[in-house]
Structure 1
């Protein structure tokens, strides 16, 4: 259960993966319905452990089994296994929704936010290791001109700090006037993106007046990194496999879930 040679090469060179048509029609339909149910809740209706913070719906992955199963999705599990060297940990899983008029966000990365020593990305024994990355399942189409995610391909391996005047002072806001070196990725519903937090990225304002951008933000790290988890009120709601995936463990510990075929984790 590792990345394919093509995935490995592209991820190493570009710094991200765009897995097209990853979700089945049923996975997509069930996921959308779960998103809608969460969105419709009033502030006084959120169960313990859930809530809203701007465009972020807290612990969205745990709201419904259809969303929770995506943390082990067969299309991304080999990638997760390789990047964590077989020692995976789900740190958090937020449902993020851009509604009409949603604002964008400036360029940033873990290196900018937390310091050069905050993340690792390296290659050993012809395998990629990355200790802080995100998986984004998409529930809606993003079309050219809509807005959404910005990436600076290759920046995950940058050896120099980003000059703040570059890329329109780090705040590009128009998909039709992007500075050289930046791309606006436009996944379709059912696609999944994978990106290291070392990648310089941002968000364009959401332009459509009649469509949403709904994604899960699934953060992963090796099992021996601290942080993350869910409140106790949510732990019993999760599958045993998900609980194990979210648990911290020693460097040498082998989690049972790593020895199960990802298709079986969907049952």
Structure 2
């Protein structure tokens, strides 16, 4: 950000209150007092004060004498009052619970960037939890179950006595049972954080669905990771912005105490440059890298899809209940749309094309609902179909490769 693009302050501007937990003494800063988390800054003519456009608990500031290279989202508020100085109230006076619940803090950004997942406590009220659980109870007979061992892929450490259960189509349940899950789709705790993680044009890629199981339910082999690279779920940071291609939001409708099982991951693996060893993904040799976050009913878990993650066998006496929404940034496509094959997208005239020509007319997506997805190759003279893959259909439950 260049100086000429910075806003100019003069008499008549009232500066926005902010808090900054990591205050550093830099040339040009004059800090007169430090009251808890609040600071009193004296300004002189010619100084410039900038705050982030998204008013949060921890904001950045600078004067015209000092340049700090941070995200260029600044705002000033024109009001009445002299430009004699700036004072922020002590942190304890701020309604912290309301601010941190509905806005992503700098601490949360740091945690997600460092570890690849984030837990927001008490995101749901008791009434919201009860409404979701009541809807699930009403349609418990629609539950579908994986075969025992189908998710473990031969891992003895993840095997138990039964496959996990899933309930799909939550957004399309009859009224009023669908209403709680439709509210979760755009819950005010989720939206600002996905705006930060996926970008403001994020969308739901697939889901939501319930993952459940009683004591003795199988785990799921760990999958995902920074290596090998997957174009559907990568993670990147540039110019202070997080760009996460795919984020899973898992709402907890039952407690997940330490040792209970359920979701597990390898913190920081979304940035890994080496593939996870076989013994780690099978949990036969975890290398002390795998963690199981302790969760409570009402908490919501965010994790980058390319964080190496899976599920531990369920050991608690009560039923596991986690509802997963799979989001992506606008250009991402994991689950395919209704128009995927060449004829579905362009018409029957595509049947006249050669197979290698048809191969380039398929729609985006990796979860192909069992439809073939051809790959082409060439030796410089001719082009041919080198491979045909059939991807899973995550919308139908047990055939899917969905994480839990």
TM range, smaller chain: 0.7 to 0.9
Paired with 1:145 and 1:164, the residues of 2 have a C-alpha distance of: 23
SS in 1 for 2:111: helix
Correspondence 1:1-267 to 2 at 5 A = 3-41=104-142, 52-54=144-146, 55-63=165-173, 64-92=178-206, 93-109=208-224, 115-165=229-279, 167=280, 170-172=281-283, 179-208=287-316, 210-228=317-335
Higher helix residue share: 1
Question: With structure 1 as the length reference, what TM-score do the two structures score?
Answer: 0.73
Partner of 1:262: none
Residues 230 and 206 of structure 1, relative CA distance in 2, 3 Å threshold: farther
Root mean square deviation of aligned Cα: 2.5
Structure 1 gaps, min length 5:
42-50, 232-247, 249-267
SS in 2 for 1:183: coil
Structure 2 gaps, min length 5:
1-53, 55-102, 147-164, 339-363, 365-404
Paired with 2:226 and 2:266, the residues of 1 have a C-alpha distance of: 14
Question: With structure 2 as the length reference, what TM-score do the two structures score?
Answer: 0.49
Give 1 or 2 for the bigger CA radius of gyration. 2
Q: For residues 53-72 of structure 1, what are the alpha-carbon distances to aligned partners after superposition, in whole Å with 9 as ceiling and x for unaligned?
A: 53221223443111121011
Of residues 177-186 and 73-82 in structure 1, the stretch that sits farther from structure 2 once superposed is: 177-186
How far 1:230 sits from its partner (Å)? 8.4
Kept in 1: contact 2:212–2:322 (CA 8 A): yes
Q: For residues 164-190 of structure 1, what are the alpha-carbon distances to aligned partners after superposition, in whole Å with 9 as ceiling and x for unaligned?
A: 23x3xx2227xxx96411111121000
SS in 2 for 1:117: coil
How far 1:36 sits from its partner (Å)? 1.1
Q: How many residues align?
A: 215
Residues 159 and 178 of structure 1, relative CA distance in 2, 3 Å threshold: closer
Paired with 1:70 and 1:226, the residues of 2 have a C-alpha distance of: 21
Residues 104 and 227 of structure 1, relative CA distance in 2, 3 Å threshold: closer
Kept in 2: contact 1:88–1:221 (CA 8 A): yes
